[in-house]
Structure 1
Amino acid sequence: MTSTTPKPLDGVRVLDLTRIISGPYCTRLLADCGAEVLKIEPAGGEHMRVKEPLRAGKSTYFGHFNAGKKSIEIDFRSEEDLGAIRKLAASCDVVVENFRPGVVQDLGLDFLTLSAGRKDLVYCSISGFGQTGPRSRHPAYAPILHALSGHDLAAMTYAEDVGKPFRTGIWYADLIGGLFAFSAIQTALIGQLRHGTGQYIDVALMDSMINLLVLEMQEVQTPSSFDRWLATPVKASDGHVIAVPITGRIFERLADLLDHPEWKDDARFNTQLERERNWPVLMALVEDWTKVRTAAECEIALMGAGIPCARYQTVAEAIKDEQVTARELMTDVGTGPEAFKVANLPFLFAGAPLPVGSHVPAVGEHTGAVLDPVRGTAVPGVTTANGAKGSQEASHV
């Protein structure tokens, strides 16, 4: 996908002080939209560079979050290097960081320091619990936020035969926090264009997780009169499918397709409310039909009749799905044996394709090109909050 049309964020420069997942995901999305993202890495590179899976000795996990950026390697214990980053920040429209609250102040890379003498800086801090409150300085990884936000116990109530909260390897908190930060930064840039002023943004992963639990938070305040209706999988001969014949018209199509017209007059199913109340019974009847057919046969027959249905796919199958292929969702990053696929943004701009950057920068690949022009100008040192130089081992979110 190529285009001569400018991308939405062409000309926007981002100082990326992030690491791990939430911050790098946010800034990669900004890079996808055309921003020049300057990723600041500690000596030797961010430790995610050695996180498996590895392809040709390089982390594709790191590459997924950092493709399309420029890498600048510094010593976070060096006041000279930190001074150069402060100078570099003066040429940036946006700064993003996801250190634990308090760390950027120690490094002299906080909003008050970097916005001195200018009013247009958009500065976004991403942290586990936000910049204020009793938990603000607590370390937080995604599983911690999943547990504290209520997500895991809420998910447990929807499962059967589970004696303890779920564990998950999908870091929802980091990813949704990165998405909220991505959205907030663009909102602030619009404000900058309209009003000439920047913004300090405080994104909390805990707040992001709670924002996902819409019906759950309303249920605990005003409980429904009966258990929530949940779509449930039914067996096929070679796997499972899920069908959602919830509305009246769709349910009637289901009854006709399965050759059970009497269901239309069954008091258990003849209104949407009763179908919701008796969903397990209805799905057991549907399963009598699906279990003697393959998942693909079920999907074709049900969807052909206008009944929402899908077979359960693995991730390997999903990224090769015909719909995914048709929309050109997956794009190649790297070349030769190092190449791997990454999902593009889940929205399409008609005038300007926004694919993931095709190159993952080597550690410090752009240090000289970016920092040499600013090192020539003396930058006053900034005394840290405790009088000490910042450490490259400063904690992330």
Structure 2
Amino acid sequence: MTIGGNDERNLTGCFAGLRVLDFSTTIAGPHCARMLADMGAEVIKIESDEGETMRTRPPVRGGCSTAFGQLNVGKKSVVLDLKSPDGLEAVRRLVATADVLVENFRPGVMQRLKMDYPALAEVNPRLIYCSISGYGQTGPSAELPAYAPVIHAASGYDMAHLAYQPGRSRPDYCGIYHADVVAGTYAFGAIASALYHRERTGRGQHIDCSMLEAMLSLTLNEIQWSQFPVQLPARPTFGPVESSDGYVMIAIASEKTFQNLMKVIGRPEWVADARFAKYSDRRANWGALMDGVEAWSRRLTNAECLAALNAAGVPSSAYRTVAEALNDPQLLHRGALADVEDDGGTFKVVNLPFRMSDAKVAAGHRAASLGEHTAAALKELGLAPMAAVEPLE
């Protein structure tokens, strides 16, 4: 049984038939639960009477945030007062019917609400309970407040990125929240693994996902360089190459790529040049090599550079805005964008970046209005309508 009916587009999803309770806010947890919804699960988002904080984030049209919609499309919205006895009873009854719970409050919040894993596992031993937090559920930093930009700094990511910006000493401003997306994606994978484990054991379990550790996993080379220092080239390996009207990215990551690029720029003799022939020598003389590449690229437009590079099989791209990327015919071919709606109208969201030959992977068609499914949920649970809801602190 599902609250408010099934989304027909998700009936063949891998997780069809699973019920997920989404207590999370902002980005990391909602992103994880959105992935579960796209895979066919019934995701019930639990909100306060004021609504989740992202409901007010721009762009807002007709009182509806597309930023919220992107993270919560395909979910149902149920408003409960988690601080009241009636709200707690509703949660316990929902938990008894659920397979997965996702939360990303600061450690200790769910315990104070009597909704931590030990308490709810008594209600449903098969429950898979996923907690996403800045630093993990235990340890000296566990209860520190954390958002993605803080985790970027704490993980070393920002300073690692700065090391690739010659002549600069001030870290970049943060506008893209990698830590949220990465942690939410790791949590999704952990939940899928726990579901498989439950098939074999019959037991649920608690998942403790750390944003700090998730972010650290992005710095693969730097983790090793921190233990065993290496000499980096004066000019970073990957970066913008100037053309007559902009910049292109050229990725020289194999011997074949290097050899093909030398032909494209009219320097085939450099393949045997002592400065560049071996990978180790090439790294030591990377600045001279790329100066030669730019002597070629500066005479051409972006389009001319890319035409020559693509013809030779050299990985390359122009630097594009997100708006330009969204118009890429490749994304249209893949069906990478979905048209969804909320009470403010229609907008586009990105589908999950994979396709499956025998299962549906797609965003739901609607982002629910606040409390849209509360009445149906309470009716299913055999409970009366509730009074106004207090927001969580």
TM-score, length basis structure 2: 0.92
**Residue-by-residue CA offset, 1:154-197 (whole Å, 9 max, x unaligned):** 11111122121122201111111101110100000000112211
Structure 2 stretches of 5 or more lacking a match? 1-7
Give the structure 2 partner of residue 33 of structure 1: 39
Q: What is the aligned counterpart of 1:293 among 300, 304, 310? A: 300
What are the equivalent positions in structure 2 for 1:337-376 lying under 5 Å apart? 338-376=345-383
Distance in 2 separating the partners of 1:161 and 1:189: 49
Between 313-322 and 33-42, the greater mean CA deviation after superposition: 313-322
Give the structure 2 partner of residue 256 of structure 1: 263
**Residue-by-residue CA offset, 1:184-219 (whole Å, 9 max, x unaligned):** 000000001122111110011111111211111111
Q: What is the aligned counterpart of 1:176 among 178, 182, 188? A: 182
**Residue-by-residue CA offset, 1:38-77 (whole Å, 9 max, x unaligned):** 1000012112101111233310100010000000012233
How far 1:232 sits from its partner (Å)? 1.8
Give the structure 1 partner of residue 208 of structure 2: 202
Distance in 2 separating the partners of 1:295 and 1:353: 38
**Residue-by-residue CA offset, 1:94-152 (whole Å, 9 max, x unaligned):** 11111111111111111111110542111011111111011111110111111111111
RMSD: 2.0
Q: Secondary structure at the match of 1:116?
A: helix
Amino acid at match of 1:98: N
Distance in 2 separating the partners of 1:119 and 1:272: 55
Q: What is the aligned counterpart of 1:94 among 82, 96, 100? A: 100
Distance in 1 separating the partners of 2:245 and 2:61: 33
Alignment CA distance shift 1:239-1:266 (3 Å): same
Amino acid at match of 2:309: L
Give the structure 2 partner of residue 273 of structure 1: 280
Between 99-108 and 63-72, the greater mean CA deviation after superposition: 99-108
**Residue-by-residue CA offset, 1:240-276 (whole Å, 9 max, x unaligned):** 1011234333222222222222222321111222222
Distance in 1 separating the partners of 2:124 and 2:52: 30
Alignment CA distance shift 1:68-1:181 (3 Å): same
What are the equivalent positions in structure 2 for 1:210-359 lying under 5 Å apart? 210-227=216-233, 230-334=237-341, 338-359=345-366
Give the structure 2 partner of residue 382 of structure 1: none
Alignment CA distance shift 1:4-1:205 (3 Å): closer
Aligned sequence identity (%): 43
Q: What is the aligned counterpart of 2:53 among 25, 44, 47? A: 47
Alignment CA distance shift 1:43-1:5 (3 Å): closer
Q: What is the aligned counterpart of 1:112 among 115, 118, 130? A: 118
Q: Secondary structure at the match of 2:182?
A: helix
Amino acid at match of 1:76: L
Distance in 2 separating the partners of 1:135 and 1:331: 39
Between 290-299 and 220-229, the greater mean CA deviation after superposition: 220-229
Q: Secondary structure at the match of 2:170?
A: coil
Give the structure 2 partner of residue 155 of structure 1: 161
Amino acid at match of 1:36: E
| Aligned pairs, number | 381
Amino acid at match of 2:318: R
Alignment CA distance shift 1:187-1:8 (3 Å): same
Distance in 1 separating the partners of 2:214 and 2:343: 38
**Residue-by-residue CA offset, 1:18-53 (whole Å, 9 max, x unaligned):** 111100000000000000001000012112101111
Distance in 2 separating the partners of 1:3 and 1:137: 40
Q: Secondary structure at the match of 1:43?
A: coil
How far 1:322 sits from its partner (Å)? 1.7
Structure 1 residue ranges, 4+ long, deviating more than 6 angstroms after superposition: 2-5
Asked if structure 1 preserves the Cα contact closer than 8 Å seen for 2:10 and 2:39, the reply is no
Q: Secondary structure at the match of 1:90?
A: helix
Give the structure 2 partner of residue 132 of structure 1: 138
Structure 1 stretches of 5 or more lacking a match? 378-389
Amino acid at match of 2:332: T
Asked if structure 1 preserves the Cα contact closer than 8 Å seen for 2:241 and 2:248, the reply is yes
Distance in 1 separating the partners of 2:347 and 2:123: 43
Asked if structure 2 preserves the Cα contact closer than 8 Å seen for 1:151 and 1:209, the reply is yes
Q: Secondary structure at the match of 1:72?
A: strand
**Quick check: 1:8 aligned with 2:23?**
no
How far 1:310 sits from its partner (Å)? 1.1
How far 1:337 sits from its partner (Å)? 6.6
Between 246-255 and 274-283, the greater mean CA deviation after superposition: 246-255
